[in-house]
């Protein structure tokens, strides 16, 4: 019997999630959608990952936005 994981985050690294969101929205729109400094001031994927790995509430917001955005993305 094959088990299918229905979690959209399963197998996705935080880096992949951030990169796909940046590709889809850009940092300006991400900063409007999620009000965190790493998306507003000198944004980069690397600095965002450093912050998000240390800050649970911010990571949860990014993951929630990713799940909400998935249907709109053409992967």
Contact (Cβ atoms closer than 8 angstroms) between residue 51 and residue 15? no
Predicted structure pTM score: 0.88
Q: Which two tokens stand for residue 71?
A: 């249907």
Looking up tokens 């999630």 gives 17
- pLDDT score at 14: 97
Q: Which two tokens stand for residue 75?
A: 């992967």
Q: Which two tokens stand for residue 48?
A: 């965002």
pLDDT digits (tens, 9 = 90+) for 13-56: 999 999 999 999 999 999 999 999 999 999 999 999 999 999 99
Chain centroid to Cα 72, Å, comes to: 14
- pLDDT score at 10: 86
61 closest CA partner among 27, 18, 23, 20: 18
């Amino acid at each position: 019997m094959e088990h299918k994981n229905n979690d959209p985050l399963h197998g996705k690294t935080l880096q992949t999630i951030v990169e796909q969101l940046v590709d889809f929205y850009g940092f300006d729109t991400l900063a409007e959608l999620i009000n965190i400094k790493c998306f507003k001031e000198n944004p980069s994927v690397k600095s965002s990952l450093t912050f998000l790995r240390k800050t649970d509430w911010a990571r949860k917001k990014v993951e929630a936005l990713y799940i909400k955005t998935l249907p709109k993305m053409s992967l």
